[in-house]
Chains A and B, each alone.
Chain A
Amino acid sequence: MSRSEVSAPGEPMAAAPARGLFMVNVIGLGTITHKEIRRVLRIWIQTIVPPAITMTLYFIIFGSLIGSRIGEMDGVPYTTFIAPGLIMMAVIQNSFGNVVSSFFSSKLQQHLEEMLVSPLSVVTIVIGFVIGGVARGLLVAALVTVVAMFFTDLRVERPLVTISVIVLVAMVFSLAGLLNAIFAKNFDDISIIPTFVLAPLTYLGGVFFSISLLTPFWQNVALANPILYMVNAFRYGMLGASDIPLGIAFSIILAAFVLLFGLALALLHRGTGIRS
């Protein structure tokens, strides 16, 4: 422990001010992103494999076994019809689940304080966690797409729409997961939303059926479900068919993103759920 091993003040130690706040946040964002993606890959048995297995089962049961008896829906084979919905369902569940569990465990173990005491802005912290959620969502989506290709002849009619919708939806549900984690005080709190809100909305959001099958009253009820717009916009991108006009779907997804992003920033800035 010689004195030379400890740098004098003002030498390399003043890294943050010397670099400027923008660069500090750029490097900080890279660090959070690196950490979050490493986490997803490190626990792949929890993060990647289960959704791939679940979606394979959906394709086997609803696609091959039951779907062959249903025939066509919206002019395409039923297995092809459900493929975009199942991919979107995987994105929603995994983006949400990744951020809610990562942020909440950081809060519970208190190592979130590592970021909170640092000069990183709350914008950087939010974006860092969202990138982690999007990365897992897209990784699982890629796997589910590969699985789907074993069961149906998938094609992408409008790549730009497909990619922009899937990325936006992954961002929206990463932010939703972050908000859930901000308010959560125990493990029950992080399972209530996925179980009682997310799952019903997803299953009723047009993953397995076209809303044209519903009576006019239930069609109107279904239109209040934001996930319906996301699934249909994605289906439009892949198959070129949708129950919902694309413009309305994009507007709703963008509005949800802006609202949730603003809310997450405001809450973290105030210290809700993370500072006393």
Chain B
Amino acid sequence: MDALVLNGLTKVYGNGVAALKGIDLAVPEGDFCALLGPNGAGKTTAIGIITSLVNKTSGKVSVFGHDLDTEREAAKSCIGVVPQEVNLNMFENCVNTLVNQAGYYGVTRRVARRRAEKYLRLLHLWDKRKEITRTLSGGMKRRLMIARALVHEPRLLILDEPTAGVDIEIRRSMWALMREINAAGVTIILTTHYLEEAEHLCRNIAIIDEGTIIENDSMSNVIRKLQREAFVLSLQERVTEAPALDGYTVRVRNDREIEVEVEKGQGLNRLFAALSAQSLEVSSMRTKTNRLEELFIRLVEDRQAGHPQ
């Protein structure tokens, strides 16, 4: 069964702006799907419609087979959402924030208190359980919103930029948590500006731009579509000019680093052999930019130039 199906979803705001222009998307149960797009692409509008915070203009939304128009309550019961903007009650403490949210989904206070403890511990917020939410740091507020989205234990978790403003250590632990939640069978839809995050976590990807989905495939297929990739090599020896490497485009970044563009299917063994033949020893290597970022920029640029994929 699909966790989420969008059919011809459109949204035209009162000011005439068409935020969504007929989106079709199917997210299978158990998937970890990335929904990417530049600012204003329509991601948050789509999430708003799925979570009943935005009225759609036309189209259909189905959550685990429940039509949002005809079985709204059943559909909403399946969803947990972490919005992009902090929307906590600033005068409520952490425990009550979770207990109240659970109550809105029909979880009794006795069970809700147990769940609140479980998810506050999971998100490293148990020590802050009696703190008023406005006193929490930005990262803690984000974690509390994740705990709040989980407290009724949804089958579909929608995370709208959940790690924005969170430090690296916490972000990594949140990634691990998201993987665990997904491994437990919860379908996750993630929007993020950290493309590395999407590449690390997600199996499938949908790229949305100007209210239209311009790419929807598995992460591996999307990455495979990249025609070339740039690597930065740090060398043991100093270089003053780009070494001649037959079949590769090489550029000197500084006296210890070169940048090499590798065509799809070229492989790296021949590159290392050519460098060794010139007595150049590589001490380390990294990709120049995130691969997904390259693809993302190319897709959006192609579209803006009128060359759809």
Contacts and interface: CB of A to CB of B under 8 A. Distances in A.
A21 B73 contact: yes
B285 interface: no
B54 A119 contact: no
A114 B106 contact: no
B77 interface: yes
B182 to A, nearest CB: 9
B305 interface: no
Contacts of B138: none
Interface string B177-216: 1001101111000000000000000000000000000000
Contacts of B54: 275-276
Interface in A31-70: 31-32, 34-35, 39, 42
Contact of A5 (B77, B81, B111, B118): B118
Interface residues of B, number: 51
A113 B158 CA distance: 14
Given A1-B180, A109-B87, A27 B106 contact: yes
Nearest to A12: B153
B218 interface: no
A59 B259 CA distance: 86
B51 interface: yes
A110 B87 contact: yes
A109 B51 contact: no
Contacts of B184: 3, 6-9
Given A27-B108, A109-B89, A14 B100 contact: no
B76 A3 contact: no
A43 B46 CA distance: 38
Contacts, number: 140
B26 interface: no
- How many chain A residues sit at the interface, stated as a range, is 35 or more
Interface string B32-70: 000000000000000010011111000000000000000
B77 A114 contact: no
B274 to A, nearest CB: 46
B105 A16 contact: yes
A114 B104 contact: yes
Contacts of B181: 6
A117 B89 contact: no
A27 B107 contact: yes
B13 interface: yes
Nearest to A27: B106
A13 interface: yes
Interface of A: 1, 3, 5-17, 19, 21, 23-25, 27-28, 30-32, 34-35, 39, 42, 106, 109-111, 113-121, 271, 275-276
17 contacts: A1-B173, A5-B118, A13-B154, A16-B105, A16-B152, A24-B73, A24-B105, A32-B103, A35-B96, A106-B89, A114-B89, A117-B81, A118-B104, A119-B104, A120-B104, A271-B55, A275-B54
Interface of B: 13-14, 48, 51-55, 72-74, 76-77, 79, 81, 83, 85, 87-91, 96, 99-101, 103-109, 111, 118, 121-122, 148, 152-155, 173, 176-177, 180-181, 183-186
For the complex of A and B, list the 8 residue pairs with the smallest distance between their C-beta atoms, beginning with the closest.
Answer: A13-B153, A31-B103, A24-B106, A16-B77, A110-B87, A118-B104, A119-B73, A9-B185
Given A109-B88, A110-B85, A276-B48, 16 more contacts: A3-B180, A3-B183, A6-B184, A7-B153, A10-B185, A13-B153, A16-B74, A27-B103, A34-B103, A109-B87, A109-B89, A117-B52, A117-B76, A118-B76, A118-B104, A118-B152
